[in-house]
């Protein structure tokens, strides 16, 4: 696959989220081991940064959509605008939930069931957002994640409030079920992709989608294994079955986040109204970084046959890969050039 295809599929917004989550997981593991003694507001620094970037991208995107008449008249751009509004509502509720968690961790004055109220409301909204996204044939990552974790939030709330004395392995039963479903569904997903590639009529489309589909399966497998190992170590540590420090426990989670960062080049680009860029990452990078115009905006098409020499003339004939047309290079005499010593 050409590097242009990687950059065109690069999802910058997801990449920013995963980078911020990686920084947060590193700081949280250090804080739990008391290697650093910052308050949790500072530990959540990368989360605040993520939300600040989201707010800035939202404001710029809305202003761009309002100012550009051609965007308001385009049906696809109106759908993108509605999508960014829906995701902003969900992101705003998630931001409120993060603030409440930090406040309660520092003070400990409120019941966790009450603290998780925005999260419960977010899960309900995710149901409607997921239906709308499926109707518009858009991605449903955050929405689906919210729907699937509503029961897990209930279990966490009653366990943190000590209404039940369950072990943490029991508390995480909803998550264990999701992991099992994922491991069962991943081979099925792979078989479906293989069937689609075999029955597809367009060879170029098969070649174009082969590496992204393989990347999704490989990265998904790595993430699932790492998350399973992380949760297993975390449960044993919280239940006092081992003395492993949290810095070691969080290592599989760090690997999973790194795999998710890599997977951002195999996904579809994010909302084009994010920061009002209105183009894929490749075009944005080439336009603003001049050196990339020389090194990344180059592709070569080699002829199927060797050049044929006829009577001192060069006749090169090759096929244009994208349009299926034959293009002939100019025909000219070969002349000897006398070069002085």
Whether 98 and 116 have beta carbons less than 8 Å apart is answered as no
Instruction: Give the best-scoring range by mean pLDDT among 141-150, 234-243, 328-337.
Output: 234-243
For the chain, what are the domain ranges?
11-164+268-298, 166-264, 307-334
- Per-residue pLDDT band for 267 (boundaries 50, 70, 90) equals low
Whether 267 and 11 have beta carbons less than 8 Å apart is answered as yes
Q: What is the mean pLDDT of residues 138-154?
A: 80
Task: Name the residue with higher pLDDT: 97 or 328.
Answer: 97
- Per-residue pLDDT band for 305 (boundaries 50, 70, 90) equals very low
Report percent pLDDT > 70 for the chain. 71
Whether 60 and 84 have beta carbons less than 8 Å apart is answered as no
Task: Name the residue with higher pLDDT: 334 or 207.
Answer: 207
Is pLDDT above 60 for 325?
no
Q: How many CA atoms lie within 13 A of 276 on its CB side?
A: 13
* Tokens at 190, concatenated: 């792979």
Is pLDDT above 50 for 135?
yes
| Partners of 326 in beta bridges | 319
Q: What is the mean pLDDT of residues 238-246?
A: 83
Is pLDDT above 70 for 3?
no
Average pLDDT, the chain: 78
Tens of pLDDT, residue by residue over 85-129, are: 888 888 899 999 999 999 999 888 889 999 999 999 988 888 888
- pLDDT for 6: 59
Exposure of 95 by Cβ count < 10 A (0-12 exposed, 13-18 middle, 19+ buried)?
A: middle
User: What distance in Å separates the CA atoms of residue 68 and residue 78, rounded to the nearest whole number?
Assistant: 12
Is pLDDT above 90 for 139?
no
* Tokens at 223, concatenated: 């993430």
Is pLDDT above 60 for 329?
no
- Per-residue pLDDT band for 188 (boundaries 50, 70, 90) equals confident
Q: How many CA atoms lie within 13 A of 131 on its CB side?
A: 5
DSSP 8-class letter at 301 = -
Least confident of 110-114, 153-157, 187-191, 284-288: 284-288
Q: How, if at all, do strands 308-310 and 313-315 pair?
A: antiparallel
Q: Give the pTM.
A: 0.77
Is pLDDT above 70 for 300?
no
CB atoms within 10 A of CB 291: 8
- Across 230-241, b (16+ Cβ under 10 Å) vs e yields bbebbbbbeeee
* Tokens at 110, concatenated: 């409120």
Is pLDDT above 60 for 200?
yes
CA distances from 153 to 110, 114, 274 (A): 16, 11, 30
- Per-residue pLDDT band for 296 (boundaries 50, 70, 90) equals low
- Per-residue pLDDT band for 334 (boundaries 50, 70, 90) equals very low
| Partners of 315 in beta bridges | 308
User: What distance in Å separates the CA atoms of residue 222 and residue 25, rounded to the nearest whole number?
Assistant: 18
In the three-class reduction of DSSP (H, G, I as helix; E, B as strand; rest coil), residue 332 is classed as coil
Is pLDDT above 50 for 173?
yes
User: What distance in Å separates the CA atoms of residue 257 and residue 129, rounded to the nearest whole number?
Assistant: 25
- Per-residue pLDDT band for 208 (boundaries 50, 70, 90) equals low
Taking CA 297 as the corner, what is the angle to CA 291 and CA 298, rounded to the nearest 5 degrees? 115
Nearest-CA neighbor of 169 among 111, 177, 161? 177
């Amino acid at each position: 696959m050409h590097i242009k295809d990687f950059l065109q599929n690069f999802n910058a917004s997801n990449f920013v989220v995963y980078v911020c989550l990686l920084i947060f997981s590193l700081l949280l593991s250090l804080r739990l081991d008391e290697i650093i003694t910052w308050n949790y507001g500072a530990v959540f620094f990368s989360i605040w940064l993520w939300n600040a970037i989201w707010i800035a991208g939202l404001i710029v995107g809305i202003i761009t959509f309002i100012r550009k008449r051609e965007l308001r008249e385009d049906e696809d751009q109106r759908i993108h605008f509605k999508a960014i509004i829906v995701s902003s509502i969900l992101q705003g509720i998630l931001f409120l939930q993060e603030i409440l968690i930090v406040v309660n961790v520092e003070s400990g004055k409120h019941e966790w069931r009450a603290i998780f109220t925005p999260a419960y409301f977010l899960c309900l909204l995710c149901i409607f957002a997921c239906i709308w996204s499926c109707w518009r044939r858009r991605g449903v990552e955050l929405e689906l994640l919210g729907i699937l974790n509503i029961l897990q939030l209930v279990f966490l709330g009653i366990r943190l409030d000590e209404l039940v004395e369950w072990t943490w392995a029991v508390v995480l039963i909803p998550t264990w079920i999701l992991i099992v479903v994922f491991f069962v569904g991943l081979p099925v997903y792979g078989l479906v992709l293989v069937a689609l590639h075999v029955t597809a009529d367009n060879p170029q489309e098969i070649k174009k989608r082969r590496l992204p589909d393989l990347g999704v399966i490989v990265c998904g497998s790595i993430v699932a294994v790492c998350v399973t190992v992380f949760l297993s170590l975390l449960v044993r540590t919280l239940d006092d079955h081992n003395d492993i420090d949290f810095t070691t426990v969080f290592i599989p989670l760090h690997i999973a986040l790194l795999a998710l960062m890599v997977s951002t080049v195999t996904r579809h680009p994010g909302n084009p109204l994010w920061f009002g860029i209105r183009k894929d990452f490749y075009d944005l990078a080439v336009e603003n970084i001049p050196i990339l115009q020389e090194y990344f905006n180059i592709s070569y098409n080699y002829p199927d046959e060797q050049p044929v020499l006829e009577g001192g003339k060069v006749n090169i004939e090759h096929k244009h890969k994208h349009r299926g047309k034959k293009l002939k290079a100019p025909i000219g005499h070969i002349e000897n050039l006398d070069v002085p010593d």
